[in-house]
Amino acid sequence: MTENIEFYESLVNILGPNRVRISETEKVLYSHDLAPLPKEVGLAFNTMPDAVCMPKNAEEISGIIKVAIKYDMPVIPRGAATWGYGGAIPSQGGIVVDISGMNRVLRVDQDNLEVEVEAGCVWKKVYDIALKRGLFIVSYPSSMYAATVGGWINTGGIGIGCYKYGSVGQNIRNMEVVLPTGEIIQTGFNGVSDHSAGYSLNDLFVGSEGTLGIITKVTMMAEPAPEVLRPTSYQFKDLMSSFPFMKAISRSKIRPLNISFVDEKHIKFLDMMGKHTPGPGALINIALEGSQGSVQYEESVLDALSQQHDGVKMTDHTAEHEWNERAYEFRPREVGLSAALGEVLVPLNKFQIVIKDTYELIDNMGMEASIIGMMTDRNTVALLPYFIYDDKKLIQGNTSLAFPKKLGDIAFDHGGRPVGLGLLFAGNLPKIRGNAVELMFDIKTVLDPHDIMNPGKSMEGITKQGVPIPKIAMDIGMGAMAAVKMVLPDDKAFKEKAKKFKKENKE
């Protein structure tokens, strides 16, 4: 008890009483992220924090880490908790460090084409402020309205703009990071590239899921704002038949800003809800950006390729609408159900077989699901099938959560892999990385000698009792959940709710 009081007072000495939270309500709020977690997860993990801290700068975070070392407490960095893989929630209790209050845009530097922000800043804010001053933030997540800069970097983000400019990591100049020892470092350089200066420390922290340190400031590269940003949209009978078009674009010399797609089932879901759609079929939405001349040329190439491959060009109105919808892919949730998604990366030439297998999985598991996604470079496709389910129906809801695992297996079978490890899929790392995983453990030990920084995430699943969860246990558990789902009656919740939603929204 005395130790508890001392622990709390040590944090209050750094942050003051208002920015250290220990009430039960507050702890419950920070014990989950955006995705619903089955209750049974509580048997293996202690997702309830001991304290929640809201720092304002790196020095305060350094102080929190020193307290954590003294009391042997895990430290869990948290942005907006939109990731949904459990990365931002405790696995064994500890101190949640909520950095969403560190949200200032510090510098928009037109001279050096870079923008410096605090890591808790939301992407939409960075994008808007930079654009007002003539700079273009080249890649950002579709969760831009909520997701933080630090959160996306830590998930190794791929998103809008990646096709042309690369993932978030490829656009970082420099970061300020508080290490798990409390030391504060710079990982790169403002104003120039991190080239030939020893190991690339920027890259080390990208995708580290908060296990190597807490990012507090980021300097990212920006482009001059484009003369024209033009969305286009092409319709195909179904997603399968859009493949030759996407392949032809990726083998041409044009480089659109963004190539994303929604399948015919997504359009059908919207139609069932009474939302406006451009008619049945799959849509390939492509945004072009640059000078008037270069955009016109790229659009003429797209038009020709679409004609060659039986696509139909949609009106400007539809294309604008789809671009404006880029941050709202999960509209079908509006009927009042939960949505969860799986995410895999696959080589383009396996696109058709992977979507065929994925549709079969959806059918076998009796799910109401659709496939959306994007091309993240000339050869990599990110498939993001999402499913709509009723999380109040316990067995149906919980067993649905085996879908991402089964989807990951399909990707592995075809030379791809699942994306994101977090709390539940940490056991996948050895399968993804082979013996390189040992090097990763060594790096983690060097940076985090007290093993306090977000334990049980990314590297290996660890229960609240400190026992590592072998991958085989996860495979068996998820396999059993999927098997149960397959024998349950098919999901019908969306159909029923969509009908009601359509009626209510018409009246």
Q: Which residues bind ligand FAD (CB under 6 A)?
A: 33-34, 76-83, 87-88, 99, 119, 141-143, 147-148, 150-152, 154-155, 157-159, 209-210, 214-215, 330, 454, 457
Closer residue to ligand FAD (CB): 93 or 159? 159
Closer residue to ligand FAD (CB): 202 or 306? 202
Q: Which two tokens stand for residue 135?
A: 């700079």
Among residues 134, 85, 59, which one has the least CA distance to residue 343? 85
User: What angle, rounded to 10 degrees, do the helices at 292-308 and 243-251 form?
Assistant: 140
Closer residue to ligand FAD (CB): 339 or 482? 339
Closer residue to ligand FAD (CB): 83 or 501? 83
Among residues 316, 299, 312, 314, which one has the least CA distance to residue 249? 299
Closer residue to ligand FAD (CB): 76 or 369? 76
For residues 329 and 45, give the distance between their C-alpha atoms in angstroms, rounded to a whole number.
31
Closer residue to ligand FAD (CB): 147 or 410? 147
Write down the least CB distance from residue 252 to ligand FAD, Å: 24
Write down the least CB distance from residue 374 to ligand FAD, Å: 8
Measured from the Cβ of residue 32, the count of other Cβ atoms closer than 10 Å reads 17
For residues 65 and 453, give the distance between their C-alpha atoms in angstroms, rounded to a whole number.
9
Write down the least CB distance from residue 213 to ligand FAD, Å: 7
Write down the least CB distance from residue 58 to ligand FAD, Å: 10
CB-based contacts of 183: which residues, under 8 Å, 6+ apart? Answer: 62
- What are residue 439's phi and psi, to 5 degrees? -60, -40
Among residues 139, 26, 138, 37, which one has the least CA distance to residue 83? 37
What is the distance, to the nearest Å, from the Cα of residue 389 to the centroid of all Cα atoms in its chain? 20
Closer residue to ligand FAD (CB): 157 or 385? 157
Among residues 232, 40, 229, 6, which one has the least CA distance to residue 131? 229
For residues 172 and 222, give the distance between their C-alpha atoms in angstroms, rounded to a whole number.
9
Q: Which long-range contacts (CB under 8 A, 24 or more apart) does 127-135 make?
A: 129/105, 130/105, 130/222, 131/225, 133/108, 134/110, 134/224, 134/225, 135/108, 135/110, 135/222, 135/223, 135/224, 135/225
Closer residue to ligand FAD (CB): 79 or 311? 79
Write down the least CB distance from residue 476 to ligand FAD, Å: 25
Write down the least CB distance from residue 28 to ligand FAD, Å: 17
DSSP assignment string, 232-250: EEEEESSTGGGHHHHHHHH
Write down the least CB distance from residue 139 to ligand FAD, Å: 9
Write down the least CB distance from residue 100 to ligand FAD, Å: 7
Residue 203, SS3?
helix
Measured from the Cβ of residue 256, the count of other Cβ atoms closer than 10 Å reads 25
Closer residue to ligand FAD (CB): 64 or 158? 158
Write down the least CB distance from residue 313 to ligand FAD, Å: 25
Closer residue to ligand FAD (CB): 130 or 214? 214
Buried b (16+ CB within 10 A) or exposed e, 110-137: eeeebbbbbbbbbbbbbbebbbeeebbb
Write down the least CB distance from residue 267 to ligand FAD, Å: 18
Nearest-CB residue for ligand FAD:
151
